[in-house]
């Protein structure tokens, strides 16, 4: 028994050692802030210091417990390499036992901490268990875990779900059935997290490394293996452009398949089409309450698509940083111009065209989803105005690539903030003088800002040293 406990202690410390150095300070800060905020609000509402302190203590206990278990799950999944699973089977067995014990203890403790609060302990128990199981699946690289994590909170916004849960899951056979399904999910998560070698284990390990890389700045825009249909479309374009010996079109393939314009249209267009069809179907077959909710929420969801504009230039810039070797070879191609102004102009035209195409696809997607929801014409006009606010970001794609290397960081966000501040300031002045709507005036001002910024950055990028390989003068 002493040896078993020692194994558990070593594995727990090893799993937690994989977390970031600031993880403990971050967890303590978030837990303290949440407990103080909730405790203060409860005290202001009830004037009962005992209730406020008791709730704050529960939040501290629950936050620290769930935080450390989440850190442990992420580290434990990384300990079970295919080599360890085969050569050190006791380690895999102990990891399964320790993970199951941690998962069960955290789930049960969460339910006990909710006892005596307005929130049903059954909901907390089921929610905590599902969240930890999905976290373990996701940290091991399984797509089901990523989908569960992505849908965990938005699913509670579905109309009628709260009333259904209170009626059927809080007690009786419904809770028993949900608990059995939760246990089945836990068993599946344990088997997936801790495989014992083999091809599936190696494939899952590759997916796990890929997900870990995507959490870094350099790897945040990495993509999984492309869709076979999308790859066939891209390869057809590559063969056609290669046969034509057109340097302008060949330059577009330097970013890889994912950044080619065919993939942009296919990915964003497909997502917009599916979303539009789903919203339209819900509107047709749902009740009156659901239709009203869609008319209000779908335009907001569609407006969130414009956030993608903040990452477009950063993504293309990182792709340029990752292809320096290919860029050096590309410079030797006979179809490529050797003079800096001509080469830079060709690259700037490509980047500007891709950014403008992405903006048009985002606008079309937002309009399609808004139209499918049955929202009024004013919502469509609002989407067009919001799209115009993003236009100045197109200029961030035009850089002096030989000199200005490195990620953009907060550059696009600061650019958008400054542009919107100037646009709404000028719009407020126009509204006072001419009586124009505020959003429309801001949109027109953003178009004017883009018309000034884009040519200026174009001239600056064309007159810079030859762009490829990027960053050689930085």
Q: Find, among 79, 204, 195, 83, the residue nearest to 138 by Cα.
A: 204
**Over 60: is that where the pLDDT of 217 sits?**
no
A 10 A CB-CB count for 119 gives: 12
- Is residue 399 assigned to a domain? yes
Q: Two tokens at 52?
A: 């406020």
Task: Specify whether 197 is located in the same domain as 306.
Answer: no
**Over 90: is that where the pLDDT of 456 sits?**
yes
Over residues 220-243, the pLDDT tens digits come to: 555 556 667 777 877 787 788 777
Residue with tokens 């340029």: 320
Cβ neighbourhood burial of 93 (10 Å; 0-12, 13-18, 19+): middle
**Residues 391, 453: contact at Cβ < 8 Å?**
no
Over residues 310-346, the pLDDT tens digits come to: 777 777 777 777 777 777 877 777 778 888 888 899 8
**Residues 263, 230: contact at Cβ < 8 Å?**
yes
Task: Specify whether 242 is located in the same domain as 144.
Answer: no
Domain boundary at 164, 192, 214, which?
Answer: 214
Task: Specify whether 193 is located in the same domain as 235.
Answer: no
A 10 A CB-CB count for 62 gives: 21
Residue 469 has a pLDDT of 84
CA-based R_g, the chain, Å: 27
Residue 280 has a pLDDT of 74
Report angle CA 110, 113, 114 to the nearest 5 degrees: 90
Q: Two tokens at 54?
A: 């008791």
**Residues 75, 104: contact at Cβ < 8 Å?**
no
Note the pTM of the prediction, 2 decimals: 0.59
Would you report the helix, strand and coil content of the chain in percent, each value rounded to 5?
A: 80, 0, 20
Task: Specify whether 238 is located in the same domain as 200.
Answer: no
Q: How far apart are CA 131 and CA 12, in angstroms?
A: 20
Residue ranges making up the domain that contains 412: 228-462
- Please list the alpha-helical segments (H only) found in 223-260: 228-244, 247-251
Task: Specify whether 261 is located in the same domain as 401.
Answer: yes
Task: Specify whether 176 is located in the same domain as 277.
Answer: no
Number of domains observed in the structure of the chain: 2
Task: Specify whether 85 is located in the same domain as 162.
Answer: yes
**Residues 134, 149: contact at Cβ < 8 Å?**
yes
């Amino acid at each position: 028994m002493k040896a078993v406990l020692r194994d558990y202690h070593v594995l727990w410390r090893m799993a937690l050692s994989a977390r970031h150095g600031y993880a403990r300070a971050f967890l303590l800060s978030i837990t303290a802030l949440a407990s103080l905020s909730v405790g203060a609000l409860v005290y202001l509402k009830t004037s009962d210091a005992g209730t406020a302190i008791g709730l704050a203590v529960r939040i501290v206990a629950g936050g620290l417990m769930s935080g450390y278990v989440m850190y442990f799950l992420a580290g434990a999944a990384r300990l079970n390499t295919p080599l360890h699973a085969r050569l050190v089977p006791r380690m895999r067995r102990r990891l399964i036992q320790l993970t199951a014990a941690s998962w069960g203890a955290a789930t049960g403790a969460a339910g006990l901490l909710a006892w005596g609060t307005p929130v049903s302990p059954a909901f907390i128990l089921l929610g905590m268990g599902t969240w930890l199981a999905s976290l373990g699946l996701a940290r091991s690289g399984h797509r089901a875990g990523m989908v569960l994590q992505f849908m965990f909170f938005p699913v509670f916004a579905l109309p009628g779900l709260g009333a259904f849960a209170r009626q059927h899951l809080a007690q009786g056979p419904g809770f028993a059935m949900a608990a059995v399904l939760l246990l089945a999910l836990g068993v599946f998560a344990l088997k997936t997290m801790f495989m014992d070698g083999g091809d599936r284990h190696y494939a899952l390990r590759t997916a796990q490394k890929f997900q870990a890389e995507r959490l870094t700045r350099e790897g945040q825009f990495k993509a999984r293996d492309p869709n076979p249909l999308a790859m066939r479309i891209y390869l057809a374009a590559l063969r056609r452009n290669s046969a034509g010996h057109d340097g302008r079109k060949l330059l577009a393939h330097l970013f890889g398949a994912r950044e080619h314009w065919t993939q942009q249209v296919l990915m964003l267009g497909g997502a917009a089409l599916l979303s539009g069809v789903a919203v339209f179907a819900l509107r047709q077959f749902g009740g009156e309450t659901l239709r009203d909710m869609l008319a209000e929420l779908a335009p907001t969801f569609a407006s969130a698509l414009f956030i993608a504009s903040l990452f477009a230039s950063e993504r293309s810039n990182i792709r340029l940083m990752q292809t320096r070797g290919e860029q050096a070879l590309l410079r030797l191609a006979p179809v490529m111009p050797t003079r800096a102004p001509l080469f830079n102009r060709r690259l700037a035209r490509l980047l500007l065209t891709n950014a403008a195409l992405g903006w048009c696809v985002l606008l079309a997607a937002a309009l399609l989803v808004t139209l499918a929801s049955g929202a009024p014409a004013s919502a469509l006009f609002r989407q067009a105005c919001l799209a115009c606010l993003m236009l100045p970001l197109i200029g961030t794609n035009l850089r002096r690539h030989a000199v200005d290397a490195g990620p953009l960081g907060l550059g696009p966000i600061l650019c958008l903030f400054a542009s919107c501040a100037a646009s709404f300031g000028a719009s407020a002045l126009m509204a006072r003088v001419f009586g124009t709507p505020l959003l429309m005036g801001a949109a027109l001002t953003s178009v004017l800002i883009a018309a000034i910024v884009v040519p200026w950055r174009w001239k600056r990028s064309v007159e810079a040293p030859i762009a490829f390989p990027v960053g050689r003068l930085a």
